[in-house]
Amino acid sequence: MTGLTRTPWLVLCIVLTGLSGQPALAQKKPAPQPTVTTPPQTEEKPTPYDGQLARLAEVLGSIHYLRSLCGAASGDWRSAMQTLLDTETINEPHRREKLTAAFNRGYRAFAAVHTSCTPAARTAEERYRNEGATLSGEIATRYGN
């Protein structure tokens, strides 16, 4: 082969090498992937009443267990806790985790001690309801709008 006859082959090889990474004309281009947007996370700043709120969550967990133990079928205390979480922890997953842990801690504390409804369990439930009312009143009075 002479230099003139090799040139078309060389050009053809270079062109084919360059096209090897390209999609064929009959192939469709991949569809663009939809972008997933996550809600913006606000910076979590502790509130001045976080300690009282955690205690209130713990009290709600205790009351929820004791009321269920003593035959009250309503889930009012659990739904009150859910409302508290929805109101106080919007876009703040760490605060939500802390309050949920406090609720569960209160629930488990009495579950470990009381396995049946006794006069002591009823007394504890009444005292915790009073403490919860006091805490919620203090928080609302001091920090409410």
What's the average model confidence in pLDDT over 36-61? Answer: 80
Instruction: Say how many C-beta atoms besides its own lie within 10 A of residue 94's C-beta.
Output: 11
Q: Determine the Cα–Cα distance for residues 130 and 141; give it in Å rounded to an integer.
A: 16
pLDDT tens, residue by residue, 10-48: 444 454 445 445 555 555 666 667 666 655 555 667 789
Specify the pLDDT at position 78. 80
Specify the pLDDT at position 12. 47
Specify the pLDDT at position 84. 86
The 3 state secondary structure assigned to 12-52 is: HHHHHHHHCCCCCCCCCCCCCCCCCCCCCCCCCCCCCCHHH
Tell me: pLDDT of 59 over 50. yes
Specify the pLDDT at position 31. 66
Specify the pLDDT at position 44. 66
Instruction: Say how many C-beta atoms besides its own lie within 10 A of residue 123's C-beta.
Output: 11
What's the average model confidence in pLDDT over 99-123? Answer: 94
Burial letters 111-122, b for 16+ CB under 10 A, else e: beebeebeeebe
Place of tokens 């403490």: 131
Residue % of the chain over a pLDDT of 70? 67
Give the chain's mean pLDDT.
80
Tell me: pLDDT of 112 over 70. yes
Tell me: pLDDT of 96 over 80. yes
